[in-house]
Structure formats: structure tokens, C-alpha cells
Structure 1
Amino acid sequence: MNPLALGAIILAGGTAARMGGVDKASIELHGRTLLTHALDAVVDAGEVVVLGDWVATNRPVTFTREDPAQGGPAAGLLHGLDSFVRAPRQVVVLAVDMPQVTMATTSRLRAAAEGHDGAVLCDTTGRRQLAMVLDAERLQAVRPAYGEEFGLPIHRLVADLDLAEVVAVGGEARDIDGWSDLRDLGDT
């Protein structure tokens, strides 16, 4: 079977502790759920896996959860990689709480990934965000042994990958960690 050119993994399974445990994917901003915003950013992906609880969407996606639950973003990312029907050559990884990441953002990341193991979005201070494009084969090559990924931060998972850094434009690097962040984004 030919591999899929581009897949996407939306990370939506966090605890949202600073927001009282609400499911971030179902939060609405400008009349659309955060999941819808994320799906719009990866519209060119042939297959999308969402790591989190089911949320109504007009786009076909695979919803799944890492096992064991609450294994952390790296465990979720790797479980998402295993959940594709057709293995992708390249995968967009996006946190559901980054609604200002758009298809233009993912296009810039894909272009920057050429000749590298991937690319990652950085804020203006150089801090890496949960918006990246990765070569799926290279990601598999740095995969830890089963059980070692639980609690592992994504930055440690991808530490040995050659990632081009792409500076965010405008508010692309803004995420929603609390209700005040949602309010501030709603005012834009």
C-alpha cells in the first residue's frame, strides 16, 4: 500500500486543569469549536487523527485516546501515529488550543521542513510550540521503547530530530491555557 503523503494529528486530550477540566476541543471561539479551527489548518491532510474525546465535526476524522489515558503529549502523538489507516510520509502535529494556526501556517511549516526531519513553529522568543510538521519515518526512528513515552514531553521526543524553526506571524503561537486567553482571543 502506498503511504499517505500528509496526515495530521490534533492533540486534544489534555486535562485543561486551568480551565476546570473542560474539553478544549469543544470550546467555541468566533462561533466555531477549537477543533474546527484546527481542522481548517490541516485541511490538505488526507487523514486526520484527533487525540481526545469525540466532538461533532463535519470532517471525517479518527478519534482516539492514548493508552493508558493521560500519558502526555508524546504518548498521544505516538499513539496518533499508530492510528492512521494509511501511514503518512509527513505528519502535521497541532495542539487543538492554537486557533490562530491556519493552513498558511502549516504550508510554511511544510516548506521549511524540506531537507530536514521536520519544522516547528516558534514564538518570537524562540520557544517551540505544539505546531509542527514531522517526517513520519524519522519520528518512528526516535520512538522510545513501549512504556518510556508515557509522561515524556514532546520536546524530548523530538530532541534528536533536525527541525527547522519557523517564527510565528501575528498571533499564530498564541494558545489557550486559561479562560482569560480565550477572552483575549475573542476580542481580536
Structure 2
Amino acid sequence: MDLPPGTTGFCAVVLAGGTAVRLGGADKASVEYAGRTLLEHALDALVDASEVVVVGDPVPTTRPVTFTRESPRFGGPVAALLTGRDALLRAPRTVGVLAVDMPRVTALTFRRLHEAAEGHDGAFLTGADGRRQLAGVLRADRLDEVRPDHESQHGMAFHRLLAGLDLATIAPEGDEGVDVDTWADLRDLASDR
């Protein structure tokens, strides 16, 4: 399918601005796993994206990205995703979303998500329990159509934003669907390597 002029295929938003209460308020983007920050792992997973926006405080990266923050801060994943969407300089066909605390998600994961999304509004990775994780791709036009007003975004549950969309899911391969919410999670993930 030909893309409209000025449109790129795939851009992505990394959600890195949460409070990380169960990590003692640590900046998840800067937390290290396997010798690299969680943000660097996320950027590796998004290597196919022509542009990446990180919604969180700026930290050093090896890849050029745009940093931004939702307003007001700590507005939750919906506010963060839509803030990141607004910060994209390019007009994408698909928007990827990835929580910074999922270091086992890879570029292959996102290729599988794109394949699963064909004929749908998007696709998301599930965890071992079958619930959708914050790792997925959405058609940009459909995301824009279901976008709530600014006041409603703050604190909105992510499943409410996606409720009107036709989404496929893919099961995780190995630990792809694991996220790091506590220091114990990080320790367990590191011991499984």
C-alpha cells in the first residue's frame, strides 16, 4: 500500500514517565538490566521505527530521540501515549507504544505485532496471564479517531482508550511479556538469563 506524501510507516512512543512507586520512585528509564538501561533496551526493540518519542525525563541515549512530558505530569499511559503522539514530527501510518519496563521485548516482537495488526486497528502483546501489555502497534488514524479530550486523558485507563478498536493480540515468546515493577522482578528477570 502506498503511503500519503509526508507519511512514514512506523513511529513509536516509549512510556517512561511513571512514578515507579514499587521501585522506590527510581527512574525506570535509567535502571540497568544486563549492563544497559531499560530505555536502551526499549530503543533496541524499536529499531525499525523511523522516529521515537520518549515520554519521561531526559536521560542519555545512544540513539537520537525526542523527550517530552505529559501535562500535568504523571497523567498515566493514555496521557503519555497521546502526548508522545503529538510530539512526533512525522505523520506515521502506525504508532508503536512500549512501556520502558519491558526489556525482553525486541524488534522481532514489533515485527510480529505489525503482522498480527494487518486487517485490524492494531495489535498488542499479552502477558503470561493473557492480559494486554503496554507493548503494541496502532493505526495512527484510528488512534486519532478514538482520542479523548485533554481533560479526560489524565488518569484514564488504557483499556478504555482501546475499547472501541479492533485489536489483535499475540502471545509472548519466552519472557517477552514480563515487565519490571519491583526490584524483585528485575532480579528474577536477570536470574533467568
On whether the aligned pair clears a TM of 0.5, the verdict is yes
Which one-letter code corresponds to 1:13 in the other structure?
Answer: G
Which one-letter code corresponds to 1:134 in the other structure?
Answer: L
Aligned residues between the structures: 188
Match of 2:97?
93
Which of 57, 62, 65 is the equivalent residue of 2:66? 62
3-state SS, counterpart of residue 132 of structure 1:
strand
Q: Structure 1 runs of 4+ off > 4 angstroms?
A: none
**Alpha-carbon deviation of 1:49?**
0.2
**Alpha-carbon deviation of 1:55?**
1.0
Which one-letter code corresponds to 2:189 in the other structure?
Answer: L
Match of 1:26?
30
Question: 2: distance between equivalents of 1:9 and 1:75?
Answer: 12
3-state SS, counterpart of residue 93 of structure 1:
strand
Which of 116, 120, 124 is the equivalent residue of 2:128? 124
Unpaired stretches in structure 1, ≥5 consecutive residues: none
Question: 2: distance between equivalents of 1:153 and 1:52?
Answer: 19
3-state SS, counterpart of residue 108 of structure 1:
helix
Identical amino acids, percent of aligned pairs: 60
Question: 2: distance between equivalents of 1:174 and 1:124?
Answer: 8
3-state SS, counterpart of residue 7 of structure 1:
strand
Unpaired stretches in structure 2, ≥5 consecutive residues: none
Q: Deviations over 1:60-106 (max 9, x none)?
A: 00000001111111001001100001121101100000000001101
Match of 2:162?
158
Which one-letter code corresponds to 1:183 in the other structure?
Answer: R
